[in-house]
Structure 1
């Protein structure tokens, strides 16, 4: 009886030791079920960290004040301001847009219910937890906006929904002179291949979210789309994927599904095209945050004409600003809460045809500012 008990104990301890050894090896070499466990842990962490009774996108307030403060009215940008957020209505938070004047007075409001996006194909984000990211006020009082990684909608001045497009639309909306829109989108689910790469994206062994550049007409019809990974590989820019995720080199590939993080698309207007010797009207200016990469490509030939990965870090909102210059919001996200390591965020400008770079803001006379995410250049 005593020998039998020792045998059972020895067997249990042996199984436990083997299980522990396999677990360590699976984590080190990526064996099954390492990927499934990592994904489950990330999902659990996302749910734990994101749940809140507050509306999506709410962040702690930095300054102990509220309302509008006007310090230099003569230096303010003229006109009205369109705000996208969520506001309390009948004991619930409701997303929408507000048009306000320089004193913060509400002149008009567009509210909507997230249920208009239910049933969409994208699995990236739940409409009930998504916030508005990307909006524009059109002549006549219509507004267009993205519910982040869910879809895009157009409302008239009365707040009636004119159309929705559920293509995982996110971040920016840029209207071309012909009235059509250029908008970032994302694949319905993580993918490992495309029509151009039916055997899989080289070097990417696990499925990733595939960002897309969407072309949409005024009525919400999808006119065309471009696969961002296809563009990178076709133009020899895949090295930026390796460069950014170099700590994972020699393994099974990057340990993230958010490879590129497309955050802006803007067409070069015919009225400004002559100011940019390297480009032509209709060329698209694109920003990929997670690769610290900005580039211009022709949507007809899918040829990248120019690109830059310096001097910015996790940049947003590149714009054609005139006289051959491109303005970029340089977040400079670092390892400190308020950006004290690198000195905060900046507005920088690049002139592709002269290979020139300037820092426009802050100046030596201004206070620093910092945002680790999002941001718009003036």
Structure 2
């Protein structure tokens, strides 16, 4: 057959013309098919994009279905390697404890699977009240499935209402029964702090990549497209009252060098990295100075904001009206969290002291550092020679209690511990492990001056009555 083909090809000019025409036809036909398939694919993509952008109702259903399917094949990101060989409550010195109930935010597994929850426990670890949160139903219209989402930041009110953030999905306020009073589907995360006027300052983030702002219409020199951190003030009714762009503050206050510093050091460690990337600042706390403390801080006034930026190792105090930075510090902490005004002119900082080992073996573990801006003084509040090992490379919170004790959240280890001023552990709670080798991370442990009797005055006060918040 091959020989016949060669003979005809050489001898028959007509055959060569036929073959050429046939080849041309086949090429055109193949190109047409490819073009048709590509056109259909492009059309499908554009339709899908339009559906997502317009938030057509099936989009939300598909998002939830895809999220559930993905969770069955991917290990949960909130599970961390187990550190401690015990779980539950340990009361090392009950007489030295601060009274009150402890609010926990984490993830627990029930008959229907894993769910983020807010729990109130007493010193024995008994659950006094619980809110079980269905974050995908609550913020189906704002959650970005490509990013992590979990409870991150909360604030409990005396009447049993609680505000909480779903990371990068929004903020909601629910009552003790779990009924949603309002929800705000914006990019809030990390922290919620109440101001003297009843409003709330919340860490916030743009929900899409951006390059410019009204203050910098040509972009920020040295930065590509990124998620922009914002300081956002929310009314008790859930309305946005004020928004301050973090990058605007840094570039307008000659503090952008800290972004450059973090970028350059990152390039030295990993030249192929694209730092600072899409998360140049990583805001993790914004807290107003209470009027009751203002006289103790000579450099500041009531309502000034204490701000923490993890990725640039920077803490500063800002006047929210003039957007003027009054003070800043980038030492002696590394990738810090949760700075607090603690009185007598001092600011306490949760210094993660990250050294890229699992348990902080190079730097010595996580610390609580005190800074007094008007005297430029520093001191270490924790640990002491009497302290147990404590380290979390990411996350973490702390609270100075009324009796001088410290309540510390060891995020990755799933532990909340109360330590006396001398560093001794007087109480701890550790999340029960999962399958022996992992433990759910704990985002927050906060002590509230409430008693079981106070909780009994709430509607739906029983811990057995639990509702998943759903939009009204």
Q: TM-score range by the shorter chain?
A: 0.7 to 0.9
The answer to whether residue 249 in structure 2 is matched with residue 231 in structure 1 is yes
TM-score, normalization: structure 2?
0.66
Q: What does residue 119 of structure 1 align with?
A: 141
Structure 2 spans left out of the alignment, 5+ residues? 1-69, 400-472
Deviations 1:46-79 (A, max 9, x none): xxx9986665522122112221111111222221
The answer to whether residue 204 in structure 2 is matched with residue 185 in structure 1 is yes
* Correspondence 1:135-214 to 2 at 5 A: 135-204=154-223, 206-214=224-232
Preserved contact between residue 125 and residue 149 of structure 1 (Cα < 8 Å): no
- C-alpha displacement at 1:94, in angstroms? 2.0
Secondary structure in structure 2 of the residue aligned to 1:243:
helix
* Equivalent-residue separation in structure 1 for 2:351 and 2:72 (angstroms): 29
- C-alpha displacement at 1:340, in angstroms? 0.4
* Correspondence 1:20-59 to 2 at 5 A: 55-59=76-80
* Equivalent-residue separation in structure 2 for 1:88 and 1:368 (angstroms): 28
The answer to whether residue 94 in structure 2 is matched with residue 76 in structure 1 is no
Q: What does residue 45 of structure 2 align with?
A: none
Secondary structure in structure 1 of the residue aligned to 2:350:
strand
Q: What does residue 244 of structure 1 align with?
A: 262
TM-score, normalization: structure 1?
0.82
- The number of residue pairs the alignment matches comes to 326
Preserved contact between residue 168 and residue 207 of structure 2 (Cα < 8 Å): no
Deviations 1:104-151 (A, max 9, x none): 10111112222111112x64855xx51101111111000111111111
Structure 1 spans left out of the alignment, 5+ residues? 1-48
Q: 1:252 to 1:236 in 2, by over 3 A?
A: farther
Secondary structure in structure 2 of the residue aligned to 1:245:
helix
Q: 1:259 to 1:165 in 2, by over 3 A?
A: same
Given candidates 86, 108, 118, the residue that maps to 1:87 is 108
* Equivalent-residue separation in structure 1 for 2:395 and 2:297 (angstroms): 27
RMSD: 2.1
The answer to whether residue 348 in structure 2 is matched with residue 348 in structure 1 is no
* Equivalent-residue separation in structure 1 for 2:372 and 2:71 (angstroms): 40
Given candidates 290, 298, 313, the residue that maps to 2:334 is 313
* Equivalent-residue separation in structure 2 for 1:51 and 1:230 (angstroms): 41
Secondary structure in structure 1 of the residue aligned to 2:165:
strand
- C-alpha displacement at 1:257, in angstroms? 1.0
Given candidates 320, 324, 329, the residue that maps to 1:303 is 324
Preserved contact between residue 259 and residue 276 of structure 2 (Cα < 8 Å): no
Preserved contact between residue 56 and residue 131 of structure 1 (Cα < 8 Å): no
Secondary structure in structure 2 of the residue aligned to 1:173:
strand
Secondary structure in structure 2 of the residue aligned to 1:171:
strand
Q: 1:146 to 1:90 in 2, by over 3 A?
A: same
Q: What does residue 35 of structure 1 align with?
A: none
Secondary structure in structure 1 of the residue aligned to 2:90:
coil
Larger radius of gyration: 2
* Equivalent-residue separation in structure 1 for 2:239 and 2:219 (angstroms): 29
Preserved contact between residue 209 and residue 226 of structure 2 (Cα < 8 Å): yes
Given candidates 56, 62, 81, the residue that maps to 1:60 is 81
Q: 1:230 to 1:253 in 2, by over 3 A?
A: farther
Q: Which moved more, 1:367-376 or 1:232-241?
A: 367-376
Preserved contact between residue 308 and residue 315 of structure 2 (Cα < 8 Å): yes
Deviations 1:134-182 (A, max 9, x none): 1111110001111111111111011111111111100011011211000
Secondary structure in structure 2 of the residue aligned to 1:270:
coil
* Equivalent-residue separation in structure 2 for 1:54 and 1:91 (angstroms): 17
* Equivalent-residue separation in structure 1 for 2:95 and 2:286 (angstroms): 32
Q: Which moved more, 1:243-252 or 1:291-300?
A: 243-252
Secondary structure in structure 1 of the residue aligned to 2:261:
helix
The answer to whether residue 291 in structure 2 is matched with residue 284 in structure 1 is no
- C-alpha displacement at 1:251, in angstroms? 11
The answer to whether residue 364 in structure 2 is matched with residue 337 in structure 1 is no
* Equivalent-residue separation in structure 1 for 2:251 and 2:145 (angstroms): 24
Preserved contact between residue 123 and residue 189 of structure 1 (Cα < 8 Å): no
The answer to whether residue 394 in structure 2 is matched with residue 373 in structure 1 is yes
* Equivalent-residue separation in structure 2 for 1:267 and 1:196 (angstroms): 24
The answer to whether residue 284 in structure 2 is matched with residue 266 in structure 1 is no
Q: 1:255 to 1:265 in 2, by over 3 A?
A: closer
Preserved contact between residue 124 and residue 189 of structure 1 (Cα < 8 Å): no
Q: What does residue 3 of structure 1 align with?
A: none
